[in-house]
Amino acid sequence: MFLAENDLQAIWLTLRLAGVVTFILLLLGTPLAWWLATASSRLKGPVGAVVALPLVLPPSVLGFYMLLAMGPRGPVGMITKAAGIGLLPFTFWGLVVASVFYSLPFMVQPLQNAFEAIGKRPVQVAASLGASKLDAFFTVALPLARPGLLTASILTFAHTVGEFGVVLMIGGNIPGVTRVASVQIYDHVEALEYNEAYHMAAVLLIFSFLALLALYVWQPNIRNVIQTER
Amino acid sequence: MNLSLFVQKEYGSFHLASDITVAGDRIGIFGVSGSGKSTLVGMLAGLVKPDQGEITLDGETLFSTAQGIDLPPSRRRIAMVFQQHELFAHLDVKHNLLYGYKRCAREHRRIDFNRLADVLQIAPLLDRSINNLSGGEKQRVALGRAILSNPRLLLMDEPLSALDDTLRFQIIPYLKSVSEQFAIPYLFISHSLMEMRLMAEQVLVVSGGKVSEPIPSDQLARARMGESPYGYINLLKLSSPERVGELYSYPWGQENLLISDGCDEHEALFELSSKDIILFKKHPEAISARNLLKCRVVGTFVSGKRIGVELDNGGERLIAEVVKAAAQELEIVAGSELYAAIKASAFLRLGVSKMHLIAC
C-alpha cells in the first residue's frame, strides 16, 4: 500500500467527519432551505445572508470566531462546560460543529434552489387533496426535490473533505482526533515528505474529481448550482 | 350546494369584493384574466387568506374573521383541478390517483376507484409514469385524482386553457359526466363564454374586482352578444347525418340542415354565430345559402346596439342578430314569421368524439 498508516487514519477521520457533517446538515439544512424558499418573512434576507457568509469569509476568520465562541469564556463553551461535555476546541465534535457552519451554504443553497424550482403549487395541490403541511412536505416537496438533495449532499460531503483553514483553527493537529487529510498533507510538506504529500494529494484530487464527475454525469444542472454559489 | 362568499381582499391597488350567495351544482365563474376570479376561488379553497369576511359552504363556516375561523385547505374537502395538470412527477398514475383517496376519512369515501377509472377511461394508464401520458390523459388523471379525494366541492380553475381546441372538447364531456355520475357539485372558472355555456348553469361574472349576482349562462351569452365580435354562439347537437353530395344533411326541427363541416359520426356538436344568420321577411326567389328555414319569432332582446331575435322551428331554437333599423324594417315582433338563410359553411363542428356525453 502506498499510503502510511497515519495517512489512512487521516483519511478515515476525514470521511467520518464529512459523513457526520452531511448527515447533520441534511437534518438542519432541509427545513432551513424550505423556510428560505417559501417564507415571506422579513428575516428571510438576513438569514439568507448569514447562511451564505462562509462562501465569502476567509476560513481563518470563521475559525477564529468559532474558537472564541467554543472557548472557556465563549457562550458555546460555557454551555458545553455546564452540560458536562467539556470544551469543544481540539476535539472531533468541535470539528463537526465548525464544519456544520462552514459547509452550511453548500447544503442549503442547492436545496433552496430545488424547492424554489418546484414552486408552491404542488404543495397547494396536496393540501387540496387533504394533506397537512407536514404531510405535503414529506410526500410531495421532499421527493420532488430529490435531485437537489443529492446535489447538496455530495457538495457538502466533498466540501467538508476539502476543508483546511477552519479545521486547523478549531481542531489543531491531533493524530486520530483532529488531523484530517488536508492537514496531513500540510504536515508532510512541512516535513519535506514530498512523496507522501504527493500520494495524499492524489487521493484527494481523485476523490474530488470523482465526486464532481458523478454530479456532472447524473445531474448536468449542477453546473448552474456551482456557478450560483461561487 | 349552497355557497356564501362575503369576503374582501386587497393586493396593492387591486380590491376584490364578493357579496354573493349561490345555490346549484354547476356554477361558473366568468371573467377576463386579472379580474380576480382565481383569487376568489383561492380564498374558497383556503390557499389565499381574505382580509376580512366569511365563507360558508353547505352551512359550515370555512372562514370567518368575526368568529376567528380559518379552516386549512386540507380540512375543507374542496378539491381543485388547475390549468396545468399539476400531477406529482415522482408518482405513477395510480399513486397520483390514490393520493387524495388515502387521505380522505373512511366515512367520506364513496367513490369506487375502478368505476372512476372506467368513466375516465384511464384504467390502461394506471402503471404508467406521468411522463408517458398525452396532454388530454394528464388532465383526465388530474380530474380523477381530484374526484377520488371525495370532495364536497370541485373547483376547476381554467382546466381547459392549456389544451388545444380538439382536446378541449374531448375533455369537457369527462368533466361533466364525472361530476354528474358521482354527484359532486363544481365551480368552473373560465374566461371562455363557450366553456361557460357548456359547463355552467348559473354564472358569477367577476369584473374589476366585483362579483355579480348569479345569472343563467345563456342569459350571459345573450347579454354579451352585442359587444362580442363573434355574436351569440348557437350550439346545435345534431345527429343521424346523411351525405348529400359534398354536404351532410342533419334533421333539425321540421327541416334538414345542410352542413359542409359534417361528419359520418352519429352525433356531433356544431356552433353557429348569430351573425351568420340572414333574415328575410318573405321567401327569397333564389339565394346561394343552402339553408333557408321558415321560423317563428319567439321573442327579441336588446344587446348593445344589436337586437337578438329568438327563432323557433319545430321546437328547436336559434338566435339571430340584426341592427335596430333592420328589426323595424322587417317588423320583427313575437309571433311573426321569417325566413332564416344560413350558409352550409357557417356551421363549425366542435371536437370529434364523446359528444353523446354533452348535454347542452
- Residue B28's nearest CA partner among B153, B205, B235 is B205
Q: Which residues contact B4 (CB under 8 A, 6 or more apart)?
A: B20, B21, B54, B55, B56, B57
Q: Are A17 and A95 in contact (CB under 8 A)?
A: yes
List the domain range (segments joined by +) for residue B68. Answer: 2-223
Q: Are residues B183 and B246 in the same domain?
A: no
- Among all chains, which residue has been given the C-alpha cell 377576463? B32
C-alpha cell at B2: 349552497
Q: Are residues B124 and B205 in the same domain?
A: yes
Nearest to B45 among A128, A132, A144 (CB): A128
Q: Is A140 part of a structural domain of the chain?
A: no
Contact A122 B88 (CB under 8 A): yes
Q: Is B153 exposed, middle or buried (0-12, 13-18, 19+ CB in 10 A)?
A: buried
C-alpha cell at A186: 500540510
pLDDT grade, residue B44 (50/70/90)? Answer: very high
Half-sphere exposure of A100 (CA within 13 A, CB side): 15
Looking at residue A220, its pLDDT comes to 56
Q: Is B228 part of a structural domain of the chain?
A: no
> What is the spatial distance between Cα B2 and Cα B21, in angstroms, rounded to a whole number?
7
Q: Is B334 part of a structural domain of the chain?
A: yes
The residues facing B243 across adjacent strands are: B248
Contact B79 A146 (CB under 8 A): no
Contact A122 B47 (CB under 8 A): no
Asked whether the predicted pLDDT for residue A228 surpasses 70, the reply is: no
Asked whether the predicted pLDDT for residue A227 surpasses 90, the reply is: no
Contact B86 A140 (CB under 8 A): no
Q: Which residues contact A12 (CB under 8 A, 6 or more apart)?
A: none
- Residue A162's nearest CA partner among A185, A146, A139, A128 is A185
Contacts of B79 in chain A (CB under 8 A): 128-129
Angle separating helix axes A92-118 and A222-229, nearest 10 degrees: 120
Q: Are residues B167 and B285 in the same domain?
A: no
SS3 annotation, A75-88: HHHHHHHHCCCCCC
Contacts of B75 in chain A (CB under 8 A): 130
Contact A127 B104 (CB under 8 A): no
- Average pLDDT over every residue of A113-134: 94
Asked whether the predicted pLDDT for residue B227 surpasses 90, the reply is: no
Least confident of A186-190, B84-88, B259-263: A186-190
Q: Are residues B190 and B132 in the same domain?
A: yes
Asked whether the predicted pLDDT for residue B356 surpasses 70, the reply is: no
Q: Is B110 part of a structural domain of the chain?
A: yes
Q: Are residues B168 and B39 in the same domain?
A: yes
C-alpha cell at B210: 366585483
List the domain range (segments joined by +) for residue A16. Answer: 5-62+97-116+152-229
C-alpha separations of B25 from B30, B150, B188 in Å: 16, 15, 10
Contact A129 B46 (CB under 8 A): no
Domain count across chain B: 2
Domain count across chain A: 1
CATH number where B343 lies = 2.40.50.100
- Residue B150's nearest CA partner among B200, B100, B116, B185 is B100
Q: Is A79 part of a structural domain of the chain?
A: no
Looking at residue B355, its pLDDT comes to 41
pLDDT grade, residue A34 (50/70/90)? Answer: very high
Looking at residue B360, its pLDDT comes to 34
Q: Are residues B194 and B249 in the same domain?
A: no
pLDDT grade, residue B358 (50/70/90)? Answer: very low
> What is the spatial distance between Cα A202 and Cα A192, in angstroms, rounded to a whole number?
17
Q: Is A92 part of a structural domain of the chain?
A: no
Check CB contact of B146 with chain A, cutoff 8 Å.
Answer: yes
Task: Supply φ then ψ for residue B127, to 5 degrees.
Answer: -90, 5
Contacts of A130 in chain B (CB under 8 A): 74-75, 77, 100, 103-104, 149
Looking at residue B170, its pLDDT comes to 75
Check CB contact of A119 with chain B, cutoff 8 Å.
Answer: no
- Average pLDDT over every residue of A143-169: 90
C-alpha cell at B305: 346596439
Higher per-residue confidence, A18 vs B356: A18
Q: Which of B190, B223, B256 delimits the end of a domain?
A: B223
C-alpha separations of B71 from A122, A142, B6, B42, B97 in Å: 19, 25, 16, 13, 24
Helix H or strand E segment including A179: none
Q: Are residues B38 and B137 in the same domain?
A: yes
Looking at residue B338, its pLDDT comes to 95
- Average pLDDT over every residue of A133-137: 95
Check CB contact of A11 with chain B, cutoff 8 Å.
Answer: no
Q: Name the minimum distance, in Å, from the CA of B360 to any CA of chain A.
A: 30
Q: Are residues B215 and B252 in the same domain?
A: no
- Residue B304's nearest CA partner among B319, B324, B318, B320 is B324
Q: Is B32 part of a structural domain of the chain?
A: yes
Q: Are residues B175 and B41 in the same domain?
A: yes
pLDDT grade, residue B13 (50/70/90)? Answer: confident
Specify the pairing of strand B153-157 against strand B186-190.
parallel
- Average pLDDT over every residue of B332-359: 78
Looking at residue A229, its pLDDT comes to 39
Sign of CA dihedral B104, B109, B113, B116: negative
pLDDT grade, residue B339 (50/70/90)? Answer: very high
Check CB contact of A20 with chain B, cutoff 8 Å.
Answer: no
Residue in A closest to B86 by C-alpha? A122
Q: Which residues contact B281 (CB under 8 A, 6 or more apart)?
A: B330, B331, B338, B339
Q: Is A87 part of a structural domain of the chain?
A: no
Q: Are residues B9 and B144 in the same domain?
A: yes
- Residue A54's nearest CA partner among A147, A178, A159, A139 is A159
pLDDT grade, residue B359 (50/70/90)? Answer: very low
Higher per-residue confidence, A178 vs A143: A143
What confidence tens digit (pLDDT) does each residue in B143-195 have? 999 999 999 999 999 888 877 777 777 778 778 888 888 889 999 999 988 88
Contacts of A129 in chain B (CB under 8 A): 74, 79, 99-100, 103, 145-146, 149
Q: Are residues B304 and B250 in the same domain?
A: yes
Looking at residue B160, its pLDDT comes to 85
CATH number where A193 lies = 1.10.3720.10
Q: Is B23 part of a structural domain of the chain?
A: yes
Looking at residue A226, its pLDDT comes to 45
Q: Is A143 part of a structural domain of the chain?
A: no
Q: Are residues B64 and B173 in the same domain?
A: yes
CATH number where B48 lies = 3.40.50.300
Q: Name the minimum distance, in Å, from the CA of A66 to any CA of chain B.
A: 41
Q: Is A188 part of a structural domain of the chain?
A: yes
pLDDT grade, residue A221 (50/70/90)? Answer: low
